[in-house]
Amino acid sequence: MKQLANLFTLINLCFGSIAIVLTLQTGETIVNLESGEWKIFFPEKITWAAVCIFCAAVVDFFDGFIARLLKADSEMGKQLDSLADVVSFGVAPGAILYQILRIAFASEPSGMEQSSLYFLPVLLVPVSAAWRLARFNIDSSSSHHFKGLPAPAAGLFIATLPMISFYNLFDLQSILVNKWTLYAIVLLVSYLMVSSIPLINLKFKNYTWKENISKYLLIILSLTEIILLGWVSGFVILITYILVSLLFKKELQ
């Protein structure tokens, strides 16, 4: 039973690995319309990769919950969890950004002739995730908040991008499948992960409203945004997370 939490961690790793495989299988179709505009038919497999990242996040939550429930916390589990998270919330989201950026370039005139060097910035995401997780592992402070954006949160945010693009929600595909938008997302998410900005940790020591008002407020706002905006809520939730954390900055310290 003590290895049950580690088993969940390995399942997390499997979901992340499957997401990478699915992402790297191309299949998009780009059509030049009579109006001169380019119509992009997104590969469906990349949406399944996004689903795998969401599944990895669910499993990642339960491995920690089970470890605490069974009192099976161990140094082995801690290191294994970070290794799995690097794959599921660092490498896999980086692969998604690579694929969307490749499609963005391919939809431009002479875009297929661009150098592969233009895709290198997406490596900042897995590198930043690895840095963030390594720093978390060696942090011996008793802080009750996160320092910088957690890798799972960053991975989940990026996983919403192919969903929005595939279904062209709110007609946002043309904005998201744009090299400058994607470069901005890479820089923003990478910076947030390696920063020391205090952000809310949703682990509860008790469930009283007074001591957890920031957590309950974040949960209520996030659920409302998911109901109203669906996949597009990923952008809004990220902003909400940062703003609520800054609002309760004194409480977090």
Query: 4-140+148-196 in CATH: which number?
Result: 1.20.120
Q: What is the pLDDT of residue 33?
A: 64
Q: What is the pLDDT of residue 32?
A: 64
Q: What is the pLDDT of residue 132?
A: 96
Q: What is the pLDDT of residue 128?
A: 98
| Residue 251, Cβ density class (10 Å: 0-12 exposed, 13-18 middle, ≥19 buried) | middle
Cβ atoms of 63 and 76 within 8 Å: the answer is no
Cβ atoms of 237 and 149 within 8 Å: the answer is no
| Dihedral pair phi/psi, residue 145, rounded to 5° | -130, 165
79-95 in b/e burial notation, b at 16+ Cβ within 10 A? ebbbbbbbbbbbbbbbb
Residue type, 72: A
Whether residue 142 is predicted with pLDDT greater than 60 in this model: the reply is: no
Whether residue 1 is predicted with pLDDT greater than 70 in this model: the reply is: no
The length of the chain, given as a count of residues: 253
- Cα gap 185→176, rounded to integer Å: 9
Q: Where are the domains of the chain?
A: 4-140+148-196, 198-253
75-79, 93-97, 157-161, 217-221: segment of lowest average pLDDT: 75-79
Residue in the block written with tokens 């995401």: 125
Bridge-partner residues for 53, per DSSP? none
Please compute the mean of the pLDDT values over residues 169-176 and round it to a whole number: 91
- Cα gap 79→100, rounded to integer Å: 31
Residue in the block written with tokens 């908040």: 145
- Cα gap 152→85, rounded to integer Å: 7
Whether residue 30 is predicted with pLDDT greater than 80 in this model: the reply is: no
- Cα gap 233→53, rounded to integer Å: 16
